[in-house]
Structures are given as structure tokens and as C-alpha cells.
Amino acid sequence: MKITVRSSWCQKPRERASAFGSAMASSSDRETAVYVAKLAEQAERYDEMVESMKKVAKMDVELTIEERNLLSVGYKNVIGSRRASWRILSSIEQKEESRGNEQNAKRIKEYRRKVELELTNICNDIMTVVDEHLIPSCTAGESTVFYYKMKGDYYRYLAEFKAGNDRNDVADQSLKAYELATNSAETELPPTHPIRLGLALNFSVFYYEILNSPERACHLAKQAFDEAISELDTLNEESYKDSTLILQLLRDNLTLWTSDIPEDGDEGQKLDATSKVVGEGAIAK
């Protein structure tokens, strides 16, 4: 009987050396990409930071916490600057319309649409990376929560400016992603974990701003806050700063929402896990 041996170690010496060399090259490429991403962050060149971390993500390996945060911070800054631009342009556009300056309003609308296209492309880009590379490659429950939360966040950013059926579609995708993240968080992470708290914070903002459901937003935020407070004595030193910061944001939003809802449901800016300068990656590790 003829026996066929398929073990890679039965390859010819030259083939084994080639395979080993390829693995070493991949490891070196990964280290280089991470280092360049760190340099880009220090230089505040966030588009290049994103491109470097996308190279790592496309290696289809599970990212380390450091790599995951580098990717998140890069995208957060890339999308954050455009979101800020969109808000400014929308405000100016409304003022011009109220003054009857139709020609200026038209110019601003065209410029705003340019920013919206950039926002759409960035969000679609991160969705592709998450769906095709990050989620299939992750094994830890913490990473699963992190990536589904990212999906929820970036679909929410799309819902901020989309209209009609397009808005309904991205809002539905955001809801589904947040729900998947929440289901995983409740079984895999303690209530005091910064990623679980950051998820509750952003999910509650989604209910308030996108679904216009302040009651549900307050319920979700209060539940997360109360559950974390009841187990605050179990919080480890490593997560203390991040978790307590998010707890403060949850409390601030609850104060804002409960005072606004009975009056006129004012749609002032809400604090989510990307609102502070420290950024999403720093808060939700």
C-alpha cells in the first residue's frame, strides 16, 4: 500500500526554507506597519495611520490590543474631522437659508455633499475591513464586542446625514451590530469593563439621536451605570481610569436627557465614547 505523507515538514529543504522565510517576512511586515502607524499617529497623519493598520488587518491575523486600538484611533480621527466639518457646514447652511441667501445655501449644500461622500467612503472602508478580516480572525469575546461596536458606531455615523430609505437601512444595520455586541458583552465581559461600558454609552446615544427614543436611551444608560456601580469594587486598576471616565459620560448624558425630555427634547450634542480628545481607542480598549 502506498502511503502519501502531506506534512509540510516533508517538503524539500528549499521549500521549507521558503515557507519559513515567508513567515518571517510577514512578521517583519507586520512590525513595520505597526511602527509606521505609531509614527503617523505622532505626526497626526491619520489617513496614513489607517492605511498602515489596514495592512495588518488584511494579514487575517487576530490583532493585539495595541494594534486594535491603533486601527480604531486612526479611523476615529479620520472620520472625526469629517463629522466636525459636516456639522459646521450644516449649521452655516441653515443660517444662510434662514437669511434667504439661496445662492450661498446652494454652494454650501454642494460642499456638504462632498464631505458626505468622504464620510460614506470611510465608513464603507472600515465596514469591509471589519467584516472581511477582523471579525473572521478574532477568537476572544472582547475582540468580538469591540468590532461589532465599531460596526454599530460607523453605521450610526452614516445615519447622522443619510435621509429616507438610506437612513433607515444604515440605522437598521447599526441597531443589529449594537445588539450583537451587547449580547456578546453580557456573556463575555463584566459590567465594569470599559468596552462594555463604551458600548452601552454609544448604543444609548444611538437610541437618543438616531431612533429618537429618549426613554430607551435613558433606560439603557441607567442600567449600564447601575450595574457597573454595583460591582465597582471588582474593577481592576488597569481599567479604572477608562471605566470611571465612561461612567461619568453616562451620568452626564442621563442628566442632560432627563432634563431635556420633559421640556422640548432638545437635540444638543450628546457625549459618546468618541467625544473626548482621548478618543475611542483610549476609552474602549
| 99 located within any domain | yes
| Number of domains forming the structure of the chain | 2
38 shares a domain with 57 = yes
117 shares a domain with 43 = yes
Which residue, of 79, 108, 137, is where some domain finishes?
137
User: Residue 43, exposed/middle/buried by CB under 10 A (0-12, 13-18, 19+)?
Assistant: exposed
Are the CB atoms for 203 and 152 separated by under 8 Å? yes
160 shares a domain with 82 = no
Q: Which domain holds residue 220?
A: 141-275
| 8 located within any domain | no
232 shares a domain with 255 = yes
The CATH number for 146's domain is: 1.20.190.20
| 3 located within any domain | no
| 282 located within any domain | no
Predicted confidence at residue 91, as pLDDT, reads 97
| 14 located within any domain | no
268 shares a domain with 147 = yes
Are the CB atoms for 148 and 180 separated by under 8 Å? yes
Could you give the residue ranges of the DSSP H alpha helices within the chain? 13-42, 46-57, 65-98, 102-129, 135-137, 141-159, 164-188, 194-205, 214-230, 237-260, 279-283
47 shares a domain with 159 = no
271 shares a domain with 149 = yes
Measure the CA–CA gap between 180 and 145, rounded to whole angstroms: 8
Measure the CA–CA gap between 121 and 202, rounded to whole angstroms: 22
102 shares a domain with 154 = no
Which residue, of 115, 137, 159, is where some domain finishes?
137
| 106 located within any domain | yes
175 shares a domain with 118 = no
63 shares a domain with 93 = yes
Lookup: cell for 87? 456639522
Measure the CA–CA gap between 41 and 30, rounded to whole angstroms: 17
Predicted confidence at residue 233, as pLDDT, reads 83
Predicted confidence at residue 84, as pLDDT, reads 98
Burial readout 137-170 (b: 16 or more C-beta within 10 A, e: otherwise): ebeeebbbbbbbbbbbbbbbbbbbbbeeeeeeeb
Splitting the chain (285 residues) into consecutive groups of 10 residues, what average pLDDT does each group show?
A: 43 47 68 98 98 97 96 98 98 96 96 98 97 93 96 98 98 98 96 97 98 96 96 84 95 90 51 44 35
| 247 located within any domain | yes
161 shares a domain with 259 = yes
Predicted confidence at residue 12, as pLDDT, reads 52
| 233 located within any domain | yes
Predicted confidence at residue 25, as pLDDT, reads 52
Which residue, of 91, 121, 137, is where some domain finishes?
137
Are the CB atoms for 164 and 115 separated by under 8 Å? no
